[in-house]
């Protein structure tokens, strides 16, 4: 190999290196956008299908169906069942309640409704016997227990390893229709206490039942009085949302109409040339779906057409979240602290388990000590009973011996009397025999004397 002559591969390597140096010197690195720069908005040049996403969600929701649960709280005979029938324009099966229930009973009933292609699983919860007792202290307890029980069921489903929330029948109360009696000038103490206990657990919508018993001025004054008492007592009722521009105007106007004055009726009456739902009186008629007569149409619009989804959302994001947070805090769970310390579920579980075992051991020791004390008390009581029985036995034994001695003495006396009686009897019989013998010999002597 001659000097100054490169092998072929070295020549190739040299040419490639020169080429790369030339390219790199002419090429500049593109600058990446910084995080502080605003994001660019690109406009699509054609339809790619993003607009169909809401339609997909609607189809899926319609196929899955909806659930809506209404709690009716009010006195017996105030018209709860009639109003529900009027709201949904159907007749639900419901037994007529009496006024003689000793306690409040919560009776849920579920119905499957369909309007067009939308399926609704409606649950109506009646409070039978509410307000019928003389003592109203425990009237609201069954209602609160039922609401908490539905929250508990949903929380247990959430905490399962294999969850099925997508087809879970949600039984949480979405709306509470609280029926106010029209026969007073304000709210009763039972109404205020019950609504105060319910406002943190359910969306309360107050309604004045049987509003046809009041004049227009009386109805206006009662509405003002009810709202002022609710505000003064700190009762939080459901306010129709005004954040959405589409429903802000109607909801704002409906918030000023609370509480709704409603009249329920499933009877058909003829007014002019029309057949409507209403009530016929000697002085005239009332159309329950006439906004000039009552607020039933407004209640139906606000409850079912405009704000049903908001009621469901408020139940989940507000009332259920409050219940869930309190229960998880009771179980020992907590969020990560501000110093970004990670939260260990295993450590929390172990700590809670140790606390539970310690509490269980303490209860077991307390029960054991209580059992020992009970046994000792029973032993002392049995010993006292034994002493008492022994004393009674000794007394009875002494009495028995004394009675036995008395009986033996009486027996001896009786035997002596019997012996004396027998001796006297024998002597008497002897004397009697001698006397008879003597009397029989005297006639014989007289006969002998006569013969002589």
Higher pLDDT, 350 or 238: 238
- Average of pLDDT values for 97-119? 83
Phi, psi of 176 (to 5 degrees): -120, 115
Q: Percentage of residues in the chain with pLDDT exceeding 70?
A: 83
DSSP string, 201-229: TS-EEEEES-GGGS-HHHHHHHHHHHHHH
Q: Percentage of residues in the chain with pLDDT exceeding 90?
A: 20
Higher pLDDT, 429 or 133: 429
Structure tokens at 348: 């929390």
Classify the C-alpha dihedral 48-52-53-59 as positive or negative: negative
pLDDT exceeds cutoff 60 at 74? yes
| pLDDT at position 442 | 66
Q: What is the pLDDT of residues 110-158, one digit of tens each?
A: 998 888 888 889 999 999 888 887 777 888 899 999 999 999 999 988 8
| pLDDT at position 170 | 87
Q: What is the pLDDT of residues 345-358, one digit of tens each?
A: 677 777 778 888 88
Contact (CB, 8 A) for 69 and 172: yes
Sheet holding 284-287, edge to edge: 268-271, 274-281, 284-287
Burial of 53 (0-12, 13-18, 19+ CB in 10 A): exposed
Give the three-state DSSP class for 299. Answer: helix
Structure tokens at 379: 């032993």
| pLDDT at position 449 | 60
For residue 8, name the pLDDT band (cuts at 50, 70, 90). very low
Q: What is the pTM of this model?
A: 0.67
Sheet holding 260-261, edge to edge: 105-115, 118-128, 66-73, 175-180, 204-208, 260-261
| pLDDT at position 354 | 84
Contact (CB, 8 A) for 315 and 201: no
- Average of pLDDT values for 325-332? 82
| pLDDT at position 22 | 58
Q: What is the pLDDT of residues 167-225, one digit of tens each?
A: 788 899 999 999 998 887 788 888 899 999 999 999 999 999 988 888 888 898 999 99
| pLDDT at position 150 | 93
Whole-angstrom Cα distance, residue 219 to residue 224? 9
Whole-angstrom Cα distance, residue 224 to residue 228? 6
Q: What is the pLDDT of residues 380-417, one digit of tens each?
A: 999 999 999 998 999 999 999 999 899 999 998 999 98
> Which of 79-83, 101-105, 397-401 is the least confident region?
101-105
Q: Which of 89-93, 160-164, 283-287, 309-313 has the highest mean pLDDT?
A: 309-313
């Amino acid at each position: 190999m001659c000097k100054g002559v490169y092998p072929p591969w070295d020549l190739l390597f040299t040419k490639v290196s020169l080429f790369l140096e030339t390219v790199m010197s002419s090429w500049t690195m593109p600058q990446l956008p910084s995080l502080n720069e605003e994001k660019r908005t690109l406009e699509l040049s054609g339809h790619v299908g993003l607009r169909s996403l809401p339609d997909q969600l609607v189809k899926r929701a319609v196929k899955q169906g909806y659930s809506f649960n209404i709690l009716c709280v009010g006195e017996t005979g105030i018209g709860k069942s009639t109003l529900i029938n009027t709201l949904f324009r159907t007749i639900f099966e419901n037994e007529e309640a009496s006024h003689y229930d000793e306690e409040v009973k919560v009776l849920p009933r579920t119905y499957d409704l369909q309007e067009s292609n939308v399926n609704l699983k409606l649950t109506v919860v009646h409070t039978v016997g509410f307000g019928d007792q003389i003592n109203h202290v425990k009237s609201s307890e069954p209602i609160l227990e039922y609401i908490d029980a539905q929250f508990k069921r949903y929380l247990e489903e959430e905490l399962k390893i294999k969850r099925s929330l997508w087809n879970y029948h949600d039984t949480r109360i979405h709306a509470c229709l609280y029926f106010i009696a029209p026969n007073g000038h304000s709210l009763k103490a039972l109404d205020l206490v019950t609504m105060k206990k319910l406002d943190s657990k359910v969306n309360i919508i107050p309604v004045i039942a049987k509003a046809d018993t009041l004049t227009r001025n009386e109805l206006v004054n009662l509405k003002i009085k009810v709202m002022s008492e609710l505000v003064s007592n700190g009762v939080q009722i459901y306010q129709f949302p005004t954040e959405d521009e589409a429903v802000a105007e109607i909801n704002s106007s409906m918030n000023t109409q609370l509480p709704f004055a409603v009249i329920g009726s499933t009877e058909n009456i003829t007014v002019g040339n029309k057949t409507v739902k209403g009530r016929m009186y000697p002085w005239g008629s009332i159309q329950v779906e006439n906004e000039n007569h009552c607020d039933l149409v407004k209640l139906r619009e606000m409850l079912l057409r405009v704000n049903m989804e908001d009621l469901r959302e408020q139940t989940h994001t507000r009332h259920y979240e409050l219940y869930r947070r309190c229960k998880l805090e009771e179980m020992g769970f907590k969020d990560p602290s501000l110093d970004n310390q990670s939260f260990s579920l295993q450590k929390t579980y172990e700590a809670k388990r140790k606390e539970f075992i310690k509490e269980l051991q303490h209860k077991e020791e307390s029960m054991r000590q209580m059992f020992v004390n009970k046994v000792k008390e029973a032993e002392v009581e049995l010993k006292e009973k034994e002493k008492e029985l022994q004393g009674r036995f000794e007394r009875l034994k002494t009495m028995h011996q004394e009675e036995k001695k008395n009986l033996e003495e009486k027996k001896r006396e009786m035997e002596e009397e019997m012996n004396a009686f027998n001796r006297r009897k024998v002597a008497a019989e002897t004397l009697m025999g001698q006397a008879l013998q003597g009397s029989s010999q005297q006639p014989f002597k007289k006969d002998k004397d006569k013969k002589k």
